[in-house]
Structure 1
Amino acid sequence: MGSEPARFCGLWRNSYVALERKVNDEFKGLQRAIFVLSLFLTAAAIVVVNVLLYSPSIRQDWLDEDNLLFGITPHKTINNRRILDPASINGVYFGASIDWKAKDVPVAFNQRFGKPLPFVMCFTNMTAANGLALVRELKYIADTVLRVDGAILGLTVMPVDPLDQMSDAVYDQLGRVCAEINRYGIPVMLRFAHEMNGNWFSYGQAPGAYRASFIKAASAVKKYTNLTSMVWAPNSPIGYPWLAAGGGPAVGSADFLAMDTNQDGKLDHHDDPYTPYYPGDDYVDWIGFSVFHFGENLTANTVPGPDDFRTAIQHVAGNETGAPTWDIYDQFAHARNKPFAVMETGAAYYPNDVRLDDPSEMEVKRAWWKQVYSTDTLKRFPLMKLISWFDIAEDEQVNRGEKGSSFYYRDFRISWNHNITTQFLADLPPRVFFENARESALL
């Protein structure tokens, strides 16, 4: 009996050693498996990171980048956020381009202005390599617009690279970004490649490529959403085709022939400044327009003429008998029954270049807004549904011909000076509306 416990202990010890050896072997195998798996995952992560860093198109497809960046927590859902419809109102909505670069936001504008914006404009570039250049900033902008119930976002997209280099993926991204903004109850008025009849943007005065590009942008937007409207918005034709400052298509090129609408072999003010660039009724929801008062020689403080705004819209090209009239409102809004929007307007004041006997800032700006926002304007242009003021002050480059170009500080703002704001609001006629207008007043 005395030997049984010893024999049992020996058996137990041998079993324990064998079990320990087996566990150690299995643990070492597990360690090896984990090590191999970690190497594989590390290699895979390196591949993924490189793909995301160097392949924008794959990054867009894999991550649906725009939706990730637009991780907005809305203050109100689309179901109870007001959706404004400017095209249906009897009057015009007031809007503003605000200085996002200076960290201005709609709520801050509303506080100093005393009225809530129904429309706010922002600008972004678009490149052939990466599409919209400021997707992250657009997330921030959309979040601030959400804080104003019902506010519409005006999105001006400016292609930087030649239009024929833009891939289908770039237009697709544009459509998906607009749809993502819309998903939170924010309507978008997309002003794509505006002022295309001018020669100061890379895409300017290239009517063939422009029309094709606008059609692609509109088709991509309509593929994803019905809460984004396409705005076709040329510049005021005063001075068209601006060839004295350089630029313009090569003589005899397809674009030259398209712009030479009277077929006299030259480009001048007798040629239609609009029709060569029009992409077609099926792709345009709004007719837009840009018109400013820049003062004498585009650099000095002068009071606008009493009818300058109307004559920019109904422009008579020249003083000679039989000079053509280029009337964007009649030609495109009225003839096609499309709503009309002045997407940018304002009067420049030059505080750094004040001369003896110059008019005051109030005199310059008030003379402009009293004709832009007037009962006569509303009656004359009943399809005009939105007028947006350029509420920004900045240095702008002015081409002085043989003298070269210089920068001038232009102040278009009306919301930063209390006296100007007060006078502006006092001068508005009854049917200029803000975001808080009652539905009954809009009809």
Structure 2
Amino acid sequence: MGSKVVQKTLFSLSLLLTAAAIVFINVLLYSPSTRKSLLGANYTVFGVVPGAPAKPSAGTPARSPTNNRRILDPAAINGMYFGASIDWEAKDVPLSFNQRFGKPLPFVMYFANITTNGMALVSELKYIIDAVVRVDGAILGLTVMPMDPLEQLSDAVYDQLGRVCAEINKNGIPVMLRYAHEMNGNWFSYGQVPTAYKASFIKATNAVRKYTNLTSMVWAPNSPSGYPWLAAGSGPKAKSPDFIAMDTNQDGKLDYLDDPYTPYYPGDDYVDWIGFSVFHFGNNLNSNTMPVDGEFRGVIQYVAGTDKLAPTWDLYTQFSQARNKPFAVMETGAAYYPKNVKPGDPTEMDIKRAWWKQVYSTDTLTRFPLMKLISWFDIAKEEQINGGETTSSFLYRDFRISWDKTIADQFKADLPPRVFFEDAPETALH
């Protein structure tokens, strides 16, 4: 009888000791102040410094985790960084990109939605953070797209956005926040409402800066080709504040003679980077055709028409150069339509190579010295084109350059000096 009591007592004691050990380990893992007071500054748990970035897996190209963070001081970079949008939905991650491409990303893009309830899928951000940490040193390009009317976003929603950016930054990951991009277009719910847009961007900037100084704000309109994209009956109502703002030449109508950028600019105090999107989609947005000479440059320095009145809308000169702000092409690529190949079409290599030789070129580096980042859209996806319930169709567009070794190797071979990856030596950046 006595032995059974002793056994029960020992069993209960072992349970208590086990529970205490679990609590102690969790305190070590999740309470920095307790860890430091108990173990000192140079502690480890199971051989790992808690909170430190995860070590990159074997096979990742060698790199310095501090080099590309110089992008936070872009004036110090004599050249530009390469970046990429990867297909997170298809479970692609930066480490996989690095391994198949053979060069380490200094910048990777992720898209997130925000609603009146706050940021959607915040739980997924831990997965994103862990994936970026594993390629220590990479900057996260965070594109946040409001899904509800901007006037309905509360202060609490903006506050959450600021806290999310700060949490990412605490993991050692700088953020370039592209908030409500392509706002001068009519394809997003927040498009072509300049009054509400500017107020929203300012609130987002203030919320981010309340919590962190490691997140840069990127103002990124779309190419003005086709602006203002108004079908009959669409767009802001005549004489409304948004109409008046968009009618920059005050002729009582909205057309290609109106400035496609200035109505949406929130002000120098709230913008750190000037961003842009520019793609080659082929003729009629649906065919395998070659880029024309000067196409990339011509979109940035866009001449809106062929008549004598045609104005030039030069995003780089007007906003980057005039305001001394760094310029980033946040998305670019050339579309190949593998399911729509016709006799005589150029090859995938022909189309994509012709585009990247314009985009990543000595001419680009020379002509646009404040252009410090160009990010390739390394995704293939089914996209809806032409618009309208009766005329819409879907096409499979392949923008990728990293998935085909021959294409990836040719891309790297064609890059001029001063286009940097994360393994660029410190001395090369000057």
Could you tell me how far 1:267 is from its partner in structure 2?
0.8
1:436 aligned to 2:415? no
Could you tell me how far 1:244 is from its partner in structure 2?
3.5
Cα distance in 1 between the residues matched to 2:233 and 2:141: 31
Return closer, same or farther for 1:429/1:442 CA change in 2, 3 Å cut-off. Answer: same
* Percent identity of equivalent pairs: 75
1:413 aligned to 2:392? no
The letter of the residue matching 1:84 is R
1:218 aligned to 2:197? no
Return closer, same or farther for 1:319/1:156 CA change in 2, 3 Å cut-off. Answer: same
Q: Deviations over 1:354-385 (max 9, x none)?
A: 11111111111111100000000000000000
Structure number with larger C-alpha Rg: 1
Q: Deviations over 1:415-435 (max 9, x none)?
A: 001111111011000110001
Q: How does 1:131-150 map to 2 (within 5 A)?
A: 131-150=118-137
Could you tell me how far 1:85 is from its partner in structure 2?
2.0
Give yes or no for contact 1:236–1:312 (8 Å, CA) kept in 2.
yes
1:84 aligned to 2:69? yes
1:179 aligned to 2:179? no
Q: Which residue of 2 aligns with 1:128?
A: 116
Q: How does 1:139-288 map to 2 (within 5 A)?
A: 139-244=126-231, 247-288=234-275
Q: Deviations over 1:293-332 (max 9, x none)?
A: 1111001110011100000000011101131110000000
Q: Which residue of 2 aligns with 1:34?
A: none
The letter of the residue matching 2:95 is V
1:116 aligned to 2:101? no
1:75 aligned to 2:54? yes
| Secondary structure of residue in 1 paired with 2:339 | helix
Cα distance in 1 between the residues matched to 2:410 and 2:231: 39
Cα distance in 1 between the residues matched to 2:346 and 2:233: 32
Cα distance in 1 between the residues matched to 2:221 and 2:233: 19
Cα distance in 2 between the residues matched to 1:246 and 1:354: 37
Q: What's the RMSD between the two structures over aligned residues?
A: 1.7
1:301 aligned to 2:280? no
Cα distance in 2 between the residues matched to 1:266 and 1:404: 27
Could you tell me how far 1:254 is from its partner in structure 2?
1.2
Give yes or no for contact 1:245–1:399 (8 Å, CA) kept in 2.
no
Give yes or no for contact 2:53–2:136 (8 Å, CA) kept in 1.
no
Alignment coverage as a number of residue pairs: 370
Cα distance in 2 between the residues matched to 1:359 and 1:288: 30
Return closer, same or farther for 1:245/1:334 CA change in 2, 3 Å cut-off. Answer: farther
Q: Which residue of 1 aligns with 2:377?
A: 390
Cα distance in 1 between the residues matched to 2:205 and 2:286: 37
Could you tell me how far 1:222 is from its partner in structure 2?
0.3
Q: Which residue of 2 aligns with 1:340?
A: 327
Give yes or no for contact 1:81–1:185 (8 Å, CA) kept in 2.
no
Q: Deviations over 1:155-180 (max 9, x none)?
A: 00000000000000000000001001
Q: What are structure 2's unaligned runs of at least 5 residues?
A: 1-49, 56-63
Cα distance in 2 between the residues matched to 1:248 and 1:188: 33
Cα distance in 2 between the residues matched to 1:401 and 1:177: 36
Q: Which residue of 2 aligns with 1:30?
A: none
Give yes or no for contact 1:199–1:247 (8 Å, CA) kept in 2.
no
Return closer, same or farther for 1:400/1:158 CA change in 2, 3 Å cut-off. Answer: closer
Give yes or no for contact 1:232–1:287 (8 Å, CA) kept in 2.
yes
Could you tell me how far 1:245 is from its partner in structure 2?
8.2
Cα distance in 1 between the residues matched to 2:320 and 2:343: 43
| Secondary structure of residue in 2 paired with 1:288 | strand
| Secondary structure of residue in 2 paired with 1:143 | helix
The letter of the residue matching 1:94 is F
Q: TM-score, normalised by structure 2?
A: 0.84
Return closer, same or farther for 1:350/1:109 CA change in 2, 3 Å cut-off. Answer: same
Q: What are structure 1's unaligned runs of at least 5 residues?
A: 1-70
Q: TM-score, normalised by structure 1?
A: 0.81
Return closer, same or farther for 1:158/1:302 CA change in 2, 3 Å cut-off. Answer: same
Give yes or no for contact 2:65–2:138 (8 Å, CA) kept in 1.
no
Give yes or no for contact 1:295–1:304 (8 Å, CA) kept in 2.
yes
Q: Which residue of 1 aligns with 2:355?
A: 368
Could you tell me how far 1:249 is from its partner in structure 2?
1.5
Cα distance in 2 between the residues matched to 1:305 and 1:287: 25
Could you tell me how far 1:149 is from its partner in structure 2?
2.1
Could you tell me how far 1:400 is from its partner in structure 2?
5.3
Q: Which residue of 2 aligns with 1:323?
A: 310
